[in-house]
C-alpha cells in the first residue's frame, strides 16, 4: 500500500507530526483534504465560515461515490459507514487534523491553507450596503425635502433600477449626484431639456432618451406630475411627463389648444388668433409662436377647461361667438403655461373647470397656484349635483379654492368627468357671449 492510501495515514498512524506550515504538514494536508474526492467537505466547511457559522455539527453528502467514501476513510482512519450517503462530523475532522499534525490549528486553519483567506460575507455585504448608501446620499438629501418624491425613491429601491443601470457604486454615485442636481431644479417652467442638462450636469445630452440619467430623471418627472413612475415609452408620453415639470423637448412639439382669443393685427401670433376667432375655429399654438409674441395678450375673463372635447363642442355650438377658452389638455404643457402667462400679463381673469378626480384636482391646483382662478362649476356643490358611478382612485389632493370639495370627493368616492357636464358648460359659455 502506498503512503496515504489507507487508514494508517489517519490518527492511528502519526508518523508525520510536522508543525503548521511545514512542507511535511502541508503535503499531508493536501493528501487528506486537497483532492477532488474531499472537495465537497472543504467547500461546505468553508461556506459555513463565510456565513459566520461555527465548524460544528455534521455535513452529509447524498449519493457519495466509492472514491469519496475511501477518501473520507483515509482522513478519519476508520470505516465511513454504509449506504449511499456520507456523513461526517466537522468536530471529528478538526480533531483528526490537529492530532495528525496535518493542521495543528485545526480545520479552520486548514481551509485557509488550502484555499486562502476565508471571506467574511456578512462584512462584505455590510460594506456594499454602506457603499450604496453613500452613493445615494446626495439624492436622499434632496428627496428628504420633497415628500412628493418619497414614493418614487422607495420605488427605485424596490425595482433595483439604479443597480440594473450601473452595478458599480462609484459610477452610481456620479450618476445619482447628477440626478440630485437635476431634481433640485424641478419644476423649472419654460426651460429646454438640453439647457437643463448642460447647467446641472455639464453635458447637454445627459437627459436624452435612453441615457441612464435621462431614464432616472424622467421617472422622477413622472412622480412629480402624479403619473406612474415607469409610464409609457412613447415619445409623446415622454414629452408630456417633462412638460409636467416645465421642461420642453423642443419649441414645436409643445402645444396649447384655445378658442375665441381676440389676438391682434400687429404680431404674427396675434394675427393667427384673430383669424381663428373670426372663423370660429379652435387654434393650436406652438411654444415657438408664444415665445416670439411681443407683449401680453389682452382678454377679460378667460375660461379654462381640462379636455379638448369642451373646445370642440364650443366651436360647434358657438363658433365666432365663443368667449375666450383655453384647454390644458391634461398636465399643462410648457406652451399652456406660456399662453396663460401672456394672458395674465394682459390683465385677464380666469375661471376653471376640470375632471372631478384626483388627477384633475392636481392639474387644477397647479393652474390655481400659477395664475389663480375662480371655480367654474368646480366646487363641492357642483360635484355633488352630478350623478356618477365611476369609482374614484388615486391619492387625495387639497382643493384650496374650496376645501369642502376634497372632503366631498373623499367621502363620495366617485369621479365625475368633464363630459358629463358638457351641456352646462356650453350654456355658461353661451350666456357669457
Q: Give the pLDDT score at 18.
A: 39
Alpha carbon distance 47, 229 (integer Å):
40
How open is the CA angle 116-122-127, to the nearest 5 degrees? 95
Alpha carbon distance 413, 290 (integer Å):
39
Q: How confident is the model at residue 416 (pLDDT cuts 50, 70, 90)?
A: very high
What does the domain layout of the chain look like in residue ranges? 7-121, 131-248, 255-432
pTM, full prediction: 0.56
Q: Give the pLDDT score at 272.
A: 96
Q: Give the pLDDT score at 2.
A: 38
Look at residue 296 and tell me whether its pLDDT is greater than 90.
yes
Q: How confident is the model at residue 5 (pLDDT cuts 50, 70, 90)?
A: very low
- Helices then strands (H, E): number in the chain? 20, 10
- Cα end-to-end distance, the chain, whole Å: 114
Nearest alpha carbon to residue 251 among 284, 288, 204: 288
Between strands 86-89 and 191-192, the pairing is unpaired
- Angle subtended by helix axes 150-159 and 212-224, to nearest 10: 140
Q: Give the pLDDT score at 10.
A: 41
In degrees and rounded to multiples of 5, residue 94 shows phi and psi of -60, -45
Q: Give the pLDDT score at 63.
A: 86
pLDDT in tens, 152-162: 999 999 999 99
Q: Which CATH architecture has domain 255-432?
A: 3-Layer(aba) Sandwich (3.40)
Nearest alpha carbon to residue 253 among 225, 284, 294, 207: 284
Separation in Å, CA 222 to CA 227, 230, 238, 281: 5, 8, 9, 33
Separation in Å, CA 53 to CA 40, 49, 88, 89, 262: 17, 5, 17, 15, 81
Look at residue 19 and tell me whether its pLDDT is greater than 70.
no
Alpha-carbon torsion angle 326, 247, 368, 231, nearest 10? 90
Higher pLDDT, 217 or 74: 217
Average pLDDT (334-344) is: 93
Instruction: Estimate the share of the chain in helix, then strand, then coil, as percent rounded to the nearest 5.
Output: 55, 10, 35
Three-state DSSP class for residue 391: strand
Alpha carbon distance 340, 373 (integer Å):
11
pLDDT in tens, 79-120: 877 778 888 899 999 999 998 888 898 999 999 888 889 888
Task: Report H helices in 77-192.
Answer: 90-100, 107-115, 121-144, 150-159, 161-165, 169-183
Look at residue 9 and tell me whether its pLDDT is greater than 60.
no
Mean pLDDT lowest for which of 10-14, 250-254, 301-305, 379-383?
A: 10-14
Q: Are 321 and 433 in contact (CB under 8 A)?
A: yes
Look at residue 415 and tell me whether its pLDDT is greater than 50.
yes
Alpha-carbon torsion angle 37, 40, 43, 49, nearest 10? -120
Cell of 162: 439604479
pLDDT in tens, 133-177: 999 999 999 999 999 999 999 999 999 999 999 999 999 999 999
Q: How confident is the model at residue 21 (pLDDT cuts 50, 70, 90)?
A: low
Q: Give the pLDDT score at 248.
A: 82
In the chain, the percentage of residues whose pLDDT exceeds 90 is 60
Cell of 197: 442638462
Alpha carbon distance 85, 62 (integer Å):
4
Residue 303: beta bridge partners? 325, 351
Mean pLDDT lowest for which of 9-18, 116-125, 193-202, 424-433?
A: 9-18
Alpha carbon distance 299, 314 (integer Å):
18
Q: What is the largest CA-CA distance in the chain?
A: 114
Residue 301: beta bridge partners? 349
**Which position has the grid cell 370642440?**
312
Look at residue 15 and tell me whether its pLDDT is greater than 70.
no
Between strands 301-305 and 325-327, the pairing is parallel
Amino acid at each position: 500500500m502506498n503512503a496515504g492510501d489507507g487508514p494508517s495515514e489517519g490518527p492511528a498512524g502519526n508518523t508525520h507530526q510536522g508543525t503548521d506550515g511545514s512542507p511535511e504538514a502541508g503535503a499531508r494536508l493536501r493528501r487528506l483534504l486537497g483532492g477532488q474526492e474531499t472537495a465537497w467537505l472543504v467547500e461546505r466547511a468553508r461556506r459555513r465560515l463565510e456565513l459566520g457559522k461555527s465548524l460544528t455539527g455534521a455535513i452529509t453528502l447524498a449519493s457519495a461515490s466509492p472514491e469519496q467514501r475511501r477518501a473520507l476513510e483515509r482522513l478519519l482512519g476508520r470505516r465511513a459507514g454504509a449506504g449511499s450517503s456520507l456523513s461526517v462530523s466537522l468536530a471529528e475532522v478538526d480533531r483528526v487534523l490537529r492530532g495528525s499534525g496535518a493542521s495543528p490549528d485545526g480545520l479552520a486553519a486548514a481551509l485557509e491553507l488550502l484555499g486562502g483567506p476565508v471571506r467574511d460575507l456578512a462584512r462584505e455585504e455590510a460594506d456594499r450596503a454602506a457603499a450604496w448608501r453613500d452613493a445615494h446620499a446626495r439624492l436622499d438629501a434632496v428627496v428628504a425635502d420633497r415628500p412628493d418624491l418619497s414614493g418614487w425613491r422607495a420605488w427605485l429601491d424596490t425595482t433595483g433600477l439604479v443597480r440594473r443601470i450601473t452595478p458599480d457604486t462609484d459610477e452610481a454615485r456620479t450618476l445619482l449626484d447628477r440626478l440630485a442636481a437635476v431634481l433640485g431644479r424641478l419644476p423649472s417652467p419654460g426651460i429646454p431639456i438640453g439647457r437643463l442638462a448642460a447647467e446641472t450636469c455639464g453635458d447637454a445630452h445627459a437627459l436624452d432618451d435612453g441615457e441612464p440619467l435621462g431614464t432616472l430623471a424622467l421617472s422622477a418627472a413622472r412622480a412629480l406630475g402624479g403619473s406612474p413612475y415607469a409610464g409609457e415609452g412613447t415619445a409623446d408620453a415622454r414629452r408630456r411627463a417633462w412638460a409636467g415639470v416645465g421642461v420642453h423637448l423642443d419649441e414645436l412639439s409643445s402645444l396649447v389648444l384655445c378658442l375665441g382669443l381676440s389676438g391682434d393685427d400687429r404680431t404674427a401670433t396675434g394675427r393667427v388668433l384673430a383669424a381663428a376667432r373670426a372663423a370660429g375655429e379652435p387654434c393650436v399654438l406652438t411654444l415657438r409662436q408664444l415665445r416670439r409674441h411681443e407683449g401680453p395678450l389682452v382678454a377679460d375673463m378667460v375660461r379654462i377647461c381640462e379636455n379638448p372635447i369642451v373646445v370642440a363642442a364650443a366651436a360647434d355650438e358657438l363658433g365666432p361667438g365663443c368667449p375666450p377658452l383655453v384647454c390644458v389638455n391634461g398636465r399643462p404643457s410648457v406652451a399652456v403655461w406660456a399662453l396663460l402667462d401672456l394672458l395674465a400679463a394682459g390683465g385677464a381673469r380666469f375661471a376653471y373647470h376640470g375632471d372631478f378626480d384626483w388627477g384633475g384636482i392636481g392639474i387644477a391646483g397647479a393652474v390655481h397656484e400659477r395664475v389663480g382662478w375662480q371655480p367654474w362649476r368646480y366646487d363641492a356643490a357642483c360635484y355633488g349635483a352630478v350623478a356618477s358611478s365611476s369609482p374614484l382612485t388615486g391619492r387625495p389632493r387639497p382643493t384650496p379654492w374650496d376645501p369642502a370639495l376634497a372632503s366631498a370627493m373623499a367621502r363620495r368616492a366617485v369621479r365625475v368627468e368633464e363630459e358629463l357636464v358638457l351641456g352646462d358648460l356650453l350654456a355658461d359659455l353661451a350666456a357669457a357671449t
